[in-house]
Amino acid sequence: RKEVEQDPGPFNVPEGATVAFNCTYSNSASQSFFWYRQDCRKEPKLLMSVYSSGNEDGRFTAQLNRASQYISLLIRDSKLSDSATYLCVVSKTSYDKVIFGPGTSLSVIP
């Protein structure tokens, strides 16, 4: 089983829709969780951290479920500019154990 797994998609949603992605991780000792976005043929960019209590940044909400070992990203009122690949990142305590998921592709359609 891969350490971090994501549904590759693509998720094709109309503008204005709400869409959610999940990311599962295998190591229960994981400490920190993040979401990045990566536009086509561009570099990844840090989108948001995921806190135990959940956190919200505008239209984006990230949540952590430690019991089931997954994190989620919810995007409300989708915009065309949200089209990208969303990367889940999980880290343990040691420096070299930052694991990137393979990403979920989102296309927002007019």
**Chain positions contacting other proteins, by CB under 8 A:** 4, 8, 31-32, 34, 42-46, 87, 89, 91-103
Residue nearer to other proteins on the CB measure, 38 or 69: 38
Residue nearer to other proteins on the CB measure, 41 or 68: 41
Whole-number minimum distance, CB 44 to other proteins, in Å?
Answer: 5
**Rounded distance between C-alpha atoms, residue 53 and residue 55, angstroms:** 7
Residue nearer to other proteins on the CB measure, 46 or 80: 46
**Rounded distance between C-alpha atoms, residue 12 and residue 17, angstroms:** 10
**Rounded distance between C-alpha atoms, residue 73 and residue 48, angstroms:** 10
- On whether the CB atoms of residues 103 and 38 are closer than 8 A, the answer is yes
**Rounded distance between C-alpha atoms, residue 77 and residue 94, angstroms:** 37
Residue nearer to other proteins on the CB measure, 69 or 76: 69
